[in-house]
């Protein structure tokens, strides 16, 4: 097993870090404060090729490995989780379902703009009464001639209502015992994007509820085989769990860097606060969490890239890295003391943002369920 990064990986990391440092970091606080989704910066991310990292060259992508996507997400998350989730969801939930399950015609129709970052796509899985139990999907799609008629609602959907959102891919019941996946273009009559949520964190990320009322789309908008939607979104979530773990790694690294610098410059009782064990040990624990989360995350990515089973490893990486990120953001806020409670400090924003990492792409409880089943335990 070789977890070292290639020259291409290191070059990508340097490019994304430079972009994140110079283009995102100076604006992240204002975007967060104003709940502003920066379309211009998202398009710049597209110009850099970030949305097309893993897509085939035929559709304008770079054809790189999954590890490359994780590196880009990690570097963005170091400075702003909102922009990191915009990329993660744009690729993992927007592009990948079409890239992996679409027909050649569907790929030719939708992928070029998505891969170039000219447009974004959302993935409508979660519903008001179907979160962790995604198999309880209640949205229905009935075939009427050569059209699907969709009725239902979705909740907490990322990249679903931006000025450049071109479509959402949704799961819907197409029969009593089957769930299928259907592409719904933005602006389709009967498809309503609800007002943006007021969220605890990820203020610069776009998140909406969606409502479908007698919404009609052509029958050829079915993505993949009818009745295979449940299997498609499970595969999509396995990939996404590694990507969310990569976000958590970026958050952990930022907390470590910010806390270390502050502990050296801030004095109390005549000494730098880093000279006291109460502070030094918190920062030492952050270093351990960074290293452990990074190894778990990139091992899972390596398994995926080498064509090996990775479901269990993805769940382990996601569980550990995200819970570590929540712990580290709390501890970093404590290191900063009163200053950590002020939104102008990055650790305060990371603290608010990090909690959702334990929830999105499968809660910590779901990850423990996956891991338990992987061990052969008859858990329900």
**Concatenated DSSP letters for 154-204?**
EEEEETSSSTTEEEEEEEEEEETTEEEEEEEETT-TTEEEPPPP--SS-TT
Q: Return all residues near 236 (Cβ < 8 A) that are at least 6 apart.
A: 92, 93, 96, 97, 100, 123
DSSP 33-53: HHT---HHHHHHHHHTTSTTS
Three-state DSSP class for residue 258: helix
The terminus-to-terminus CA distance of the chain in angstroms comes to 34
Q: Are 203 and 82 in contact (CB under 8 A)?
A: yes
- Of 74, 75, 258, 361, which is the active-site residue? 361
Query: What are the residues facing 168 on neighbouring strands?
Result: 122, 184
CA angle 169-173-178, nearest 5°? 110
Q: Per this entry, what is the length of the chain?
A: 380
- Distant-in-sequence, close-in-space partners of 66: CB < 8 Å, separation ≥ 6: 54, 239, 242, 301, 304, 305
Distance CA 288, CA 132 (A): 30
Instruction: For residue 173, give the nearest of 223, 229, 132 by alpha carbon.
Output: 229
**Distance, C-alpha 201 to centroid of its chain:** 14
Contact 228, 186 (CB under 8 A): no
Q: 100 catalytic, yes or no?
A: no
Contact (Cβ atoms closer than 8 angstroms) between residue 273 and residue 267: yes
Catalytic positions are 361
């Amino acid at each position: 097993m070789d977890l070292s990064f290639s020259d291409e990986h290191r070059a990508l990391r340097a490019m994304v870090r430079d972009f994140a440092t110079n283009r995102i970091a100076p604006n992240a606080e204002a975007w967060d404060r104003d709940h502003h989704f920066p379309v211009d910066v998202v398009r710049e991310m597209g110009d850099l090729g970030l949305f097309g990292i893993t897509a085939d060259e035929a559709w304008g992508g770079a054809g790189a490995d999954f590890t490359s996507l994780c590196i880009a997400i990690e570097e963005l998350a170091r400075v702003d989780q909102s922009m990191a989730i915009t990329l993660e969801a744009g690729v993992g939930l927007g592009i990948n379902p079409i890239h992996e399950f679409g027909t050649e015609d569907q790929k030719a129709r939708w992928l070029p703009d998505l891969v170039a970052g000219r447009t974004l796509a959302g993935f409508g899985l979660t519903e008001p009464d179907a979160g962790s139990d995604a198999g309880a999907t209640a949205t229905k799609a009935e075939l009427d001639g050569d059209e699907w008629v969709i009725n239902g609602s979705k909740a907490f959907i990322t990249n679903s209502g931006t000025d450049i959102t071109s479509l959402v891919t949704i799961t819907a019941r197409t029969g009593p015992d089957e769930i299928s996946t259907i592409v719904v273009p933005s602006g389709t009559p009967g498809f309503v994007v609800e007002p943006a949520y007021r969220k605890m964190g990820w203020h610069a990320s776009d998140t909406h509820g969606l409502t479908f009322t007698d919404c009609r789309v052509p029958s050829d908008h079915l993505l993949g085989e009818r009745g295979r939607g449940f299997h498609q979104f499970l595969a999509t979530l396995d990939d996404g769990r590694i990507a969310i773990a990569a976000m958590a790694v970026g958050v952990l690294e930022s907390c470590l860097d910010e806390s270390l610098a502050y502990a050296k410059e801030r004095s109390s009782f005549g000494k730098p606060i880093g000279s006291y064990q109460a502070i030094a040990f918190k920062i030492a624990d952050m270093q351990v969490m960074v290293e452990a989360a990074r190894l778990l995350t990139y091992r899972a990515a390596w398994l995926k890239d080498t064509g090996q089973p990775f479901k269990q490893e993805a769940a382990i990486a996601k569980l550990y890295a995200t819970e570590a990120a929540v712990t580290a953001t709390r501890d970093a806020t404590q290191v900063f003391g009163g200053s950590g409670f002020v939104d102008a400090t990055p650790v305060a924003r990371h603290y608010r943002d990090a909690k959702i990492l334990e929830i999105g792409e499968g809660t910590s409880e779901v990850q423990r369920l996956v891991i338990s089943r992987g061990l052969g335990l008859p858990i329900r």
